Structure 1
Amino acid sequence: MTKLTVTNLINIIKDKASQSKAALLSKPTTLSLLRATTHDSFTPPTHKHISTLLSSTDGSRATASSFLELLMDRLQNTNNAAVALKSLIIVHHIISHGSFILQDQLSVYPSTGGRNYLNLSNFRHNTNPTSWELSCWVRWFAQHIENLLCTSRILGFFFLGKSLCDGEERVSCLTNCGLLKEFDSLVTLVEGICKRPDQVNMNKLVGEIVNLVCEDWVVIETVVIVEVNEFKERLGCLEFGEAVELVCCLKRLEECKERVVMILESQQGLWDSVREVKDKVGMEVYKEKGKVHKEGRKSRFSESDRFSARVISSRDSLWFPSGRLL
């Protein structure tokens, strides 16, 4: 049982006062939000509270927009770590399970997203050791959500709550540049997960966040595997610059292995594929560097050499960007 301290008592009184005010002013959405984001540092918002809150705010774009503004104000104006974490859990729920209207409004709020989208990178709450520890989780979880939003924008949809049964077909239609952009964003997402704070004093609120990110990883890993396998199909179709960029991304991903294995359940097949593709592409980069070096030492080409270099063979014209034959 949580020890009732003066701080906890004050927080309980704050929650009751805020909820009573919202009830008197007949603001059901505000009341539902306050109930889902109390100052209690040890228990997450219930699924019932979140479901009730979101189901009552996705009727129209105007309603969804007003709710998002209310939620963001709650998130960015609080100096309490528990309130911030619970608000972030609601944002995460919108990303993974929200209606199209809510997700659409989230994607354009504010109009300029990007790094530090949620403005919580400097969040601090040092009232007591618990709030100080939770502050680390606020900063990390906010960054994870920002990375999810960024990756979703690049993919063109909120991928956590979508069926990925057609993932292979989707990525096969991407250009090399588009695929690399997606892959780089996914690697950044994995790198962010690896920065997860250590669990010193586990409580249900932190445990809920850990579980949510573990569920995210199952989807993220699936998408990463599909894209690594797609790169395997395109090994002979990458430009030199694309190959170098891919090797860099694969190295960054491989550097995450130890931490990922430590904090998450991971498929060994992922890391085997990453190493295989990295080694093969790295070898091609090495060979290409050697060619460039040798070519640079030649004083001039013969006309026949220049002509043959300009000819596109019939075989080349039959390849899609994915590397598959027509």
Structure 2
Amino acid sequence: MGRKNLVGILKDKVSILKATLLLSSKPTTSFRVAVLRATTHRHPSELPPVDDVLALAHRHRAATSGVLIHALLKRLHGTRDVFVALKCLLTLHHVITNGSPALKEQISCYSSGPLFNLSDFKDESDRDTWELSCWVRWYADVLDCGLALSRRRNGGGGGGERLRLLVGMVEMICGAPETLHYQRISLIYEVMKLIGEDYRMIMREISTVINQFGKKRIQDSSDELIEELLTDLKRLENCREKVFLMFLNKKKNDGVWELIEEVKKDVEEVKEKRGNMKLVPFQGSESTHMAENHVDESRSVVVVPPPPPRHGKRWLDVEWNPLVASYG
């Protein structure tokens, strides 16, 4: 990796020199140079100077925020170096989390679809970069999912829909590569730290949504909503073991998983009661059963009960017989 690192350093120096000499617009030049310095090919243990990038954005007008986002995305989509890509994504993640309102607005409005879309990214320099390419693809997907969740959150929606989006985000996080030992690399460690913060925020939001589903609301919900809620809670439980392994926080779940398990039991109880009610047979009178025997069993039967008696006499003084209507 030494020769590759040296070549990358030379590329960085040439790019920075070109950006300084050839670009005339000062904000554009400063943003471009800041991005190049934050996303170098240097050793993977070197974290990007994100604070310098954010400080530069704060010093300029909000109208120029788009220049920084454009420079980061251009750098990201123009590289096949795994460490440059990771540094670009880390910087963009910091912009999403800690950037000014103008920066956040720029990145959320930059595209209505996937912004990063690195599904084809591969660095085939050696075995490690090949494995780390999986982390780049996964990290980009997580950030895209987070942006989509933010857009949908701002657009409103009911508790059930909101819960499904949050569960989808947790499932996306759980899709992390199995090669967790790469967390020994400082870049991957930083990635996991930032996503861990996002994960805890998502779980707090899930807790808020689930708390709205009290027993009374669950009992009053439709069968469709009950089924959807149960499915979402089971999907969450399927993620539990993986996120514990990823973030090593078995004791730091703030009771969220216990709440999920409790609400899931309440939902299953309501579903079971409704199922049992549907299985209870109709207990009709003896005359009703006699009438049903004269109707083809393959047809549905409706029995019309007699009206209340008038002055102690049957209607039209005729002995009442149940009226049986069949629908074939």
Deviation at 1:45, TM superposition (A): 0.4
Tell me which residue corresponds to 2:256. 270
- Given that 1:187 and 1:249 are in contact with CA atoms closer than 8 Å, whether structure 2 keeps it comes out as yes
For 1:243 and 1:278, locate their aligned partners in 2 and report how far apart those are by CA, in whole Å. Answer: 10
Give the Å deviation of 1:287.
2.9
- SS of match in other structure, 1:243: helix
State which structure, 1 or 2, has the greater radius of gyration over its C-alpha atoms. 2
How far, CA to CA, are the matches of 2:237 and 2:116 in structure 1? 29
Structure 2 contact 226–271 (Cα < 8 Å) conserved = yes
Shift of 1:301: 7.7
Question: Residue 212 of structure 2: SS of its match in structure 1?
Answer: helix
Q: Give the number of equivalent residue pairs.
A: 278
Percent of pairs identical after alignment? 33
Q: For the residues of structure 2 that align with 1:261 and 1:148, how far apart are their CA atoms? A: 20
Which residue type is aligned with residue 199 of structure 1? L
In structure 2, what is the Cα distance between the partners aligned to 1:205 and 1:214? Answer: 14
Find out whether 1:212 has 2:194 as its counterpart: yes
Residue matched to 1:153: 151
Partner Cα distance (1:118, 1:148) in 2: 12
Taking structure 1 as the reference length, the TM-score comes to 0.78
Per-residue CA deviations over 1:196-215 (Å, capped at 9, x if unaligned) read 22233421111111111112
Partners in 2 of 1:35 and 1:276 — Cα distance?
50
Structure 2 regions of 5+ residues with no counterpart? 283-298, 307-328
Structure 1 residues 96 and 48, CA gap change in structure 2 (3 angstroms): closer
* Greater relative CO, 1 or 2 (CA 8 Å, sep 6+): 1
Native 8 Å contact 1:33 1:53 kept in 2: no
Residue 272 of structure 2 corresponds to 286
| Superposed CA RMSD | 2.6
CA gap 1:38/1:239 in 2 versus in 1, 3 angstroms: same
Alignment of 1:25-174 (within 5 A): 25-26=23-24, 27-40=29-42, 41-56=44-59, 59-61=61-63, 63-110=64-111, 112-113=112-113, 116-156=114-154
Q: Which runs of 5+ in 1 are unaligned?
A: 158-173, 305-326
User: Structure 1 counterpart of 2:192, which letter?
Assistant: V
- CA-CA distance at 1:281 after TM superposition: 0.9
TM-score for both structures, normalised by structure 2? 0.77
Instruction: After superposition, give the CA deviation of every residue in 1:42-97 in whole Å (9 maximum; x if it has no partner).
Output: 3220243332343245x223x12232222211111211111111111122112211
Partner of 2:162: 182
Seen in structure 2, the aligned counterparts of structure 1 residues 21 and 295 have a Cα distance that, compared at 3 Å, is: farther
Hey, what's the Cα distance between the residues in 2 that align with 1:65 and 1:301? 72
Instruction: State yes or no: 1:196 paired with 2:176.
Output: yes
CA contact (8 A) 1:18 1:34 kept: yes
